[in-house]
Structure formats: structure tokens, C-alpha cells
Amino acid sequence: MKRTFAIALAAALLATAALKGETPVKNPSVVMKTSLGSITIELDAEKAPVSVANFLAYVNDKFYDGTVFHRVIDGFMIQGGGFKGDKMQKTTKPPIKNEATNGLKNKIGTIAMARTNDLNSATAQFYINVNDNANLDGGYCVFGKVTVGMDVVNKIKATPKSNQGGAFVDAPVTPVVIESIRVVP
């Protein structure tokens, strides 16, 4: 059922583009505006079609607007996309199939799906690698890469952090807000 949802979602996004007379972009890009600057991310729809369709569905719903980077570990990654500034977790769509064996690696500047211990539990949360994290390859699906804005990623990773409890163990003292994520026209 989870896989069926993801495939239907991908098909719906392609069909929507076709109905609008648009040609679906093979590797679409998004701009993530944060309280510390903007990051442009190219998505790899060829190697991670389910993950890209899932991410774009959240983008199109404006789901990420006002969420925060709640887990920031210098030398590892910055994670966000699931919690609002008040630390309340947002309600998500069903989990998707893990595409971690797509050949994309958890290298500096790549974006990947965050998940629980269940391999097929990814929903909305993502992380951007700030180090080469080969230990995550094959278990965490990379679905794109930062093309502009690594300076902003580096600002986020360098922010002072504190243990604020729960999912906010490595959280920025001053919240880093994802103001919006939009597809580049």
C-alpha cells in the first residue's frame, strides 16, 4: 500500500504537468529559503523517483513553510522538515519506499530522506550531509544535491546548539527556520 501511494503520487505529479501543457523537468530544482539564507537543491528524479515525487508533494503543499532545522550536528548533517518552530511535529503523508540502493552516495552537500529504524519509514523529514557519510549509504536514500548555498548550509551547521529535549537534542539555540521551499520555474 505504501509503495502504491508513492507510485500514484509520482504519476499524479507527472499528469498534472502534462495537463498544464508543461514538460516535466527531469531533474527539477528547488530553492529553500531559510532564516540564514537560500539554498538551491537539484533533485534526482531519475535515480530516486519516489523520494523526489514525495518531497515535491510536500513542497507543493507548502508543508515545509515555517518548519525548523531541529537536529544540527557539525561534521555530520543538518536535519529538518518535520517540526514547527513551537517544537510540535507536523502530521505527514504515509511513509514511502526506501530507494537507498539507487547508487547515490551520502556525500557533502547531498540531501537524503530521514527515517526511523524502519527502512521504509521516511515521510517529510530530510537531511543535508555536511560530511561524507558513507556509513549511511544503502540505508538512507539520497535524492538530490545542493548546487548553490553551501555557505548557508555551513552557517546552519555552525550555529550554537543545545539539548532542548526530545527530537531537539542537537537543536540550534536560535531556531533556523525554513521559510519556504519552492520549485524553480
> Residue 115 belongs to a domain with what CATH number?
2.40.100.10
Residue 10: per-residue pLDDT: 55
List, run by run, the mean pLDDT of 10-residue segments along the chain (185 residues).
50 55 75 98 97 97 98 97 96 97 98 97 98 98 98 98 95 98 95
Structural domain that includes position 20: 2-183
- Give all strands (DSSP E) within 35-165, no chain letters: 37-43, 67-73, 77-84, 110-113, 126-129, 142-148, 161-162
In order, the DSSP letters of 11-56 are: HHHHHHHHHTTPPPPSS-EEEEEETTEEEEEEE-TTT-HHHHHHHH
Pull the grid cell for residue 161: 546548539
Q: What is the DSSP letter of 78?
A: E
Please give the tally of structural domains in the chain: 1
Residue 184: per-residue pLDDT: 94
